Structure 1
């Protein structure tokens, strides 16, 4: 069996693409582990104000709020819940919890608020009510992974940083694809933050300085947009090389399983939000390049395999199969390492498949967004 120069060139190209496509993988670009110095226990740790907005969230607050209120944190902290004029038992749940926890404070926004995001208004009210410089934002459907959550954040809330970002993972009952999408989105945003200027934040685990928020008038520039509160905060308030990313397990936040409608609406709202964010093109270019290289690699392998079957060329067939095997194995190993790093129990084999499905899922959502009424994303 003779192998000509063309076969060598095509087979070499397939191998090169298999390797490059694995290197063009956001999970291959590692995140640093959170490391604390030996003197951390001696440093002056800050007090925190945790701000949570709630709307018809009685059951969520009853389940999750005690985790916020039971942190082991010696310097002290307060939890401020802002009720967005709920119509369920939210107020009664908060009254009962306030009797048990002295560090819980509550306030509300009136039902008459119009033409602006009630969520952003609630967070603004919470920040103004806060007594401490460092504010941590979270949601009613979230809870800290550990009672050392504040301790993990405190090591990074110092003079060197003005924003601290933590990971929010969906609970184990959530669909694997939803968890994978959160995982990969967070990895991209964390990498962006660590490489200069942060772009946005996924999840509900974010610390900023009250003085920064008040100095720039909070959400004044984007109050009319329904959602995107954490994206706008990071995009507007981030300073070059002053955003920290906490990756220790104690710093993680757990979020309750979202419904399909909630998950879809969240992603649709982001498609509207990103039109108003700075640095959007450079951030999305990285993702688009990774997806392009991944799909070109698989298309090349499938094309060569199909051609080899048609002309009965065993060399091309073996090369295509081997390169496909190399691609899958490399991406499996990289995905498994990433899952372990973020404490995710998603099967690495599933991730290899879901990486392909992510692009098509995004395209489907883009069509849905293009055909939607853009007024649905604006507070009326």
Structure 2
């Protein structure tokens, strides 16, 4: 049993090192960044059967307080009224450009193909990406995100959260997983090792896109237009992060556990295509989380229970500090009080997702 205790302490310390490393982001300033002359921006939205979401959320994009932007909306072979809705917006607002993508047998259901056509249509050198079901939290979203571009910085990572439903436990779980993921990719970026971004709120220059030859290296993988591109192109010199409250977008979360589980299966399946060093670091983080609780459950029923509780208390103190300070940046502080429960639920959900992906491949895009 002594070996179990030593393994538990080692695993706990390894996991604690990650959370202590997240302090740099958790306590980072989230000050608003100002520019005298906003950069010219193309907002790119890929929409597949998103007629209702476009009606609800596109006006918030078009109402941005920015003097020089356009919105390129890609109708990706929709079978609902998406194209008609886009055409109506285009007839009423000169900023809207339409890209109508028909099904292509070689690229069927491949979002990257549709996005490539949208990027080629864009006339501005700075590109911001969001989804049809996303709404900017502020009319300063474009200014905030674009202000983080510079001569050296060609990639900007933003926070893409979800709408809050305080009465839904699933909503809290989804937002907690999103917050934890954001803490990781923002922290890694601050460590000089950016590894992913989310397409709900992501920016990069057209020059960077063409320099990387677009999505060519992973075009055969249906998903990963956001994180695989960042994983391929981002490094410590060309990547910036936007953590201002004005730079947030929020989107519609899944409303049932099954749909969320399937969504996360798709996301997790992409991680195996990350660079090996990122796979190793991310895998070690999740492994130490799972093993910490497995060893804790064993040791709590032994004579070492006081040591186990002590390690848990220290871990919760460090975790709580990270989650509270990070949550304040993004309006997610209500999750702080439930984080021990949400973490446990998420760990076992992730284990289930890993097992499910071993058994069968998840489907991608719509």
Q: Distance in 2 between matches of 1:175 and 1:233?
A: 28
Q: Deviations over 1:70-115 (max 9, x none)?
A: 00013x1000101012111112212222233221111211124434
- Map Cα deviations across residues 109-159 of structure 1 (whole Å, 9 max, x no partner): 112443454311111111111111001111111111110001111221111
Find the aligned partners of 1:368 and 1:351 in 2 and give their Cα distance: 25
> Match of 2:244?
248
Equivalent pairs counted in the alignment come to 359
Task: State whether residues 192 and 283 of structure 1, in contact with CA within 8 Å, keep that contact through their aligned partners in structure 2.
Answer: no
- Other-structure match for 1:311: none
Q: What residue ranges of structure 1 are gaps of 5+ in the alignment?
A: 1-6, 309-315
**Which among 21, 24, 29 is matched to residue 23 of structure 2?**
29
**Does residue 327 of structure 2 align to residue 339 of structure 1?**
yes
- Compared CA separation, residues 223 and 15, structure 1 to 2 (3 A): closer
Shift of 1:266: 3.0
**Partner in structure 2 of residue 186 of structure 1:** 182
Matched, 1:65 2:62: no
Aligned pair in 2 of structure 1 residues 147, 12: CA closer, same or farther (>3 Å)?
same
Q: 52-61 or 185-194: which moved more?
A: 185-194
The 5-angstrom pairing of residues 67-86 of structure 1 reads 67-74=60-67, 76-86=68-78
Q: Give 1:216 shift.
A: 3.2
Deviation at 1:373, TM superposition (A): 4.2
C-alpha deviation, 1:293, in angstroms:
4.4
Question: Is contact 1:138-1:204 (8 Å) kept?
Answer: yes
Helix, strand or coil: the match of 1:217?
coil
- The equivalent residue for 1:313 is none
**1:4 maps to what in 2?**
none
Matches within 5 A, 1:104-183: 104-173=96-165, 175-183=171-179
Q: Is the deviation greater in 13-22 or in 284-293?
A: 13-22
Structure 1's 162 and 306: CA in aligned 2 closer, same or farther, altered over 3 A? same
* Counterparts of 1:156 and 1:60, CA distance in 2: 28
User: RMSD of the alignment, in Å?
Assistant: 3.2
Of 186, 191, 202 in structure 2, the residue corresponding to residue 206 of structure 1 is 202
TM-score (norm 1): 0.83
Aligned to 2:360: 372
Q: Which runs of 5+ in 2 are unaligned?
A: none
Inter-CA distance 97–15: structure 2 relative to 1 (3 Å threshold): same
**TM superposition score normalised by structure 2:** 0.86
The change in CA–CA distance for 1:57 and 1:23 in structure 2 (over 3 A counts) is same
Equivalent-residue separation in structure 1 for 2:171 and 2:225 (angstroms):
25
Greater C-alpha radius of gyration = 1
Distance in 1 separating the partners of 2:56 and 2:85? 10
Shift, 1:202, TM fit:
2.9
Q: Give the distance between the partners of 1:299 and 1:371, measured in 2 at CA.
A: 23
Deviates more, 1:121-130 or 1:330-339: 330-339
